[in-house]
Structure 1
Amino acid sequence: MSKRTDAYTAAGVDTEAAGRFIDGIKSMVASTYTKGVISDIGGFGGLFKPDIAGMQEPVLVAGTDGVGTKLKLAFTFDRHDTVGIDLVAMSVNDILVQGAKPLFFLDYFATGKLDGDKATTVLQGIVEGCREAECALLGGETAEMPDFYADGEYDLSGFCVGIVDNARIVDGSSIAVGDVIVGLGSTGPHSNGYSLIRKILAASNLSGGDAFPGTDKTVAEVLLAPTRIYVKPIKAIMRDLEIKGMVHITGGGFYDNIPRVLPRGVAARIAFGSFAVPPVFAWLKAQGNLSWPEMLQVFNCGVGYMCIVAPEVAQDVIDRLSGMHIPASVIGRIEPLEKGMEQVIVDFPEDACP
């Protein structure tokens, strides 16, 4: 046995280091466990017994995503404490759109040579994200793959499973003319558009430790700000109020994501200027010589999530979100889709200079 282990280590895979990493994170992972978890990490599969009390027709909802090239900035700035939060956020926010309560999450961490400290820092972010999303980190995979990744680099992917009663699935089918769109504030670019962000940053004179223009934070802090997780506030609102449709603003920005929830025959008209645009987006627009329509095609521009509701409940939704420290405002309305119209129309004031 020792000869085979030595040979594998010589090939670049340190199984003992991987074992120490798993042993070291067990208590951290256990801190995310909900009452449905009936297994510990280390098995071939994670076991979860969902609570379906009160549900007539439980439906499982699954999602998967990664962090993308935002990881490249984590490597450049040598900061790894937020990308784990991003990883969880991208999947839980996606399944939340359909009204699903996240149950559990699994992660995949792959690297050329395992750096236990770095991997633990990433894992701490994943744990923090799972706690915020109120779901269990049920298991995962740590893969050491010599010669596959550049020194010091790694890749992440995540997988989330949630549950919703069939009668309470949010699919946008009840959206009607006159409904309003409530936009929920983002924390920055979240985890989208980073191939363009990195290109713009490379052409600037800024480095990670420099002050980011228009803020009291560094470049690294602004560009690695973790994706906001909307699970708790949306779950709280759905307990009392009807949300007809929801949109997670990810890759494709406003123009590609909003139509995914709209039924036929209606369009979304957005009023640019009705929501706060954080300084990072103004900087990206100026440095990248981009128009606002181009920005809205790539970035969330300050709106990370949207709820489409009846006009009479909109203010209640906004007030509740404000009470949970989520900035929100009415940013648009649903109107009839006329012949030749796009399904998403953004009205820009003259001084926006699209």
Structure 2
Amino acid sequence: MSEKISYSQSGVNIDEGNKTVELIKEKVRSTYNSNVLGDLGSFSGLYSLKSFMGMKEPVLLSSTDGVGTKLKIAQLMDKHDTVGIDLVAMCVNDLICQGAMPLFFLDYIAVGKLDSEKARDIVFGIAEGCKQAECALVGGETAEMPGMYSEDEYDLAGFSVGICDKEKLITGENVKEGDAIIGIASSGVHSNGYSLVRKLFLDKLGWSLDRPMEGYDCTLGDMLLTPTKIYVKLVRELMADFELKAIAHITGGGLLENVPRVLPNDMSASIKKDSWEAADIFSVIKGLDMVEERELYRSFNMGIGLVIVVDKEIADNVIEKANACGEKAYKIGEISKGDEGVVLW
């Protein structure tokens, strides 16, 4: 009789998966609110919409995203407790661009070999991101996939759903010539452009991630792993007091590619490059002078994580309110007629 083999011998450890659930369940429950029905272990996540029945025409909005090759930095540093925040941020920041309030979030973690403590750190970050976004973590999947990833590798994907009354959706259709463009500061590179970052710092310059950054109280790795800022609370505060005509989340493609997505076809954005104070990492990158300027602005957020378009008459009040909410807001330009997309000057 041939020797019997088991699932664990093929590289999938069910017991480690069960251990992971035990390690994360209380942290996941800490994101719940009164709309969450059921508990961990169900085949699907349940979320009641009863509290939104007062909306005239409720619209559900959805977003899915990942963290990209920023995960390579986390894996090289063996630091996994912040990339979950990035994962949530990439999804919920997209939702708020159309005025949605995030309701719930689900995650997918794919690993070569499951390490329950590493998975715990990742999920703890996801839970923290959900708390910052005021949404519930209602489910997830952890897939152990030997042969697809090396033992130390993993990938993340997230999915979020939000809600907005149809009449309050932010569409960009009312943007007009002369409107003010407000930029909200980013915390750093966020979660886009890391292939270029790794090419620049690790491949071309040969810098190590534990290299102390001269003039800054941190290492290169610390700078690069700074979590993506979550703008949900800010936008909800601003929407309560002002008409926000358009919002753009500055992700892959930078200011050059993302701002035109929220403008009418006959409108362009004129943006003044030195009108905001950028995060430290961009001072470092620009100081190296190894990437063409236009490439910088279509690869990175360059210090602006969110762009908001408002009537010029209320721009100063919006900036004041944003700053009072703990953000750094700047008037970075204005809307003009034309089809040039973004004009940097």
Aligned 8 A contact 1:268 1:334 in 2: yes
SS of 1:103 mapped into structure 2 = strand
Aligned 8 A contact 1:110 1:144 in 2: yes
Unaligned runs of 5+ in 2: none
Q: Which residue pairs with 1:30 in the alignment? A: 29
Q: Which residue pairs with 1:172 in the alignment? A: 172
Q: Deviations over 1:2-22 (max 9, x none)?
A: x99x71111111111101111
Aligned 8 A contact 1:204 1:287 in 2: no
Q: Which residue pairs with 2:296 in the alignment? A: 295
Comparing 154-163 with 306-315, which one deviates more in the overlay? 306-315
Comparing 287-296 with 47-56, which one deviates more in the overlay? 287-296
Question: Does the alignment pair 1:197 with 2:167?
Answer: no
Aligned 8 A contact 1:200 1:287 in 2: no
Aligned 8 A contact 1:213 1:283 in 2: no
After TM superposition, the structure 1 = structure 2 runs for residues 41-80 of structure 1, keeping only pairs within 5 Å, are 41-50=40-49, 51-80=51-80
State the Cα distance separating 1:53 from its structure 2 match.
3.6
State the Cα distance separating 1:212 from its structure 2 match.
2.0
Q: TM-score under structure 2 normalisation?
A: 0.96
Aligned 8 A contact 1:88 1:129 in 2: yes
Q: Which residue pairs with 1:321 in the alignment? A: 322
After TM superposition, the structure 1 = structure 2 runs for residues 329-344 of structure 1, keeping only pairs within 5 Å, are 329-337=330-338, 342-344=340-342
Q: Which residue pairs with 2:107 in the alignment? A: 107
State the Cα distance separating 1:278 from its structure 2 match.
2.2
Question: Does the alignment pair 1:15 with 2:31?
Answer: no
Comparing 102-111 with 280-289, which one deviates more in the overlay? 280-289
SS of 1:342 mapped into structure 2 = coil
Percentage identity across aligned positions?
Answer: 46
Question: Does the alignment pair 1:256 with 2:283?
Answer: no
After TM superposition, the structure 1 = structure 2 runs for residues 263-274 of structure 1, keeping only pairs within 5 Å, are 263-274=264-275
Q: Which residue pairs with 1:209 in the alignment? A: 210
Q: TM-score under structure 1 normalisation?
A: 0.94
Aligned 8 A contact 1:200 1:288 in 2: no
Aligned length: 341
After TM superposition, the structure 1 = structure 2 runs for residues 125-204 of structure 1, keeping only pairs within 5 Å, are 125-202=125-202, 203-204=204-205
Cα pair distance change 1:54/1:213, threshold 3 Å: farther
Q: Distance in 1 between matches of 2:172 and 2:312?
A: 15
State the Cα distance separating 1:186 from its structure 2 match.
0.2
Q: Distance in 2 between matches of 1:156 and 1:125?
A: 12
SS of 1:329 mapped into structure 2 = strand
Q: Deviations over 1:253-275 (max 9, x none)?
A: 01110110001221110011001
Q: Deviations over 1:59-115 (max 9, x none)?
A: 000000000000001111111111000000000000110000000000001101110
State the Cα distance separating 1:242 from its structure 2 match.
0.6
Comparing 43-52 with 201-210, which one deviates more in the overlay? 201-210
Q: Distance in 2 between matches of 1:128 and 1:120?
A: 12
Aligned 8 A contact 2:113 2:150 in 1: no
Q: Distance in 2 between matches of 1:15 and 1:184?
A: 44
Q: Deviations over 1:306-326 (max 9, x none)?
A: 110011111111111111210
Q: Which residue pairs with 1:85 in the alignment? A: 85
Runs of 4+ displaced beyond 4 Å = none
Q: Which residue pairs with 2:343 in the alignment? A: 345
Q: Distance in 2 between matches of 1:183 and 1:54?
A: 33
- Report the residue type matching 2:120 in the other structure: T
SS of 2:46 mapped into structure 1 = coil
SS of 2:98 mapped into structure 1 = coil
Q: Distance in 2 between matches of 1:183 and 1:253?
A: 13
State the Cα distance separating 1:283 from its structure 2 match.
2.1
**Cα RMSD after superposing both structures:** 1.4
Q: Distance in 1 between matches of 2:252 and 2:214?
A: 25
State the Cα distance separating 1:205 from its structure 2 match.
4.2
SS of 1:272 mapped into structure 2 = coil
Aligned 8 A contact 1:213 1:279 in 2: no
Unaligned runs of 5+ in 1: 348-354
Q: Distance in 2 between matches of 1:251 and 1:267?
A: 19
